[in-house]
Structure 1
Amino acid sequence: MHPAPLLKDLDPRLNALVMDLIGRVADKWTMTVLEVLAEAGTLRFTRLAEAVPGVSQKMLTQTLRAMQRDGLLLRTVHPVVPPHVDYRLTDLGLSLGEAFCGVWTWAEVHMERVESARTAFDGRG
């Protein structure tokens, strides 16, 4: 694994993009949508809403728009009545999901150590 470059040596645009993407993916709705679409492939808005427990229509719409703006998903409107809209991840979205998969793997490996550390810390009170 390569060491991360020093912040002072980073291109400010790259730094801004990384911070923005971390913030976006750290948002529980984006991460959940990434996961759902990675597993399901293409879904209509209603099916996607059903697969993301607890999300409001407004939050799902905002999340999907932000993801579309970042190039993470494609929104396809089919010319039928009533309108039929599908969402699916782009290659960029799939690769971002794969990159953040490492966090899940790390958490699985280190879950007990983190829980022990938290319990020890909380017990010091």
Structure 2
Amino acid sequence: MDKTQQAALKAAYRQQPPPLGIIALRHLPSGRTLLESSRNAPGMLNRHRFELNLGKHRNAALQADWRRDGAAAFSCTVIDTLKLPDDPAFDADAELGALLDLHRAHWLEQGQPLY
């Protein structure tokens, strides 16, 4: 691959919007899970990990579990994504909210506790 092709691939990558989706931070010993929607799902996972490692997470129960059991006791994943349509009237925030509500309801139906 020559430099021109590499530059074109990098430019195309930079123009892609970050994936919108639902993230889950799951405490494996207890099964408790934090579900959250984000316009930048991978970035939100990084933010949570950073806050937890810093000891400054806004969810006190999650922070306590992290402090007690460490990062190895957690699963941090993007569990669902939204594809942005070409429609300019598409309300991404409303769709993310509906998707989050759907996942929370499913989680609770399965008897899995949430943070």
TM-score interval (norm. to shorter): under 0.3
Higher helix content, 1 or 2: 1
- TM-score by structure 2 length? 0.27
Pair member with larger Rg: 1
Q: TM-score under structure 1 normalisation? A: 0.26
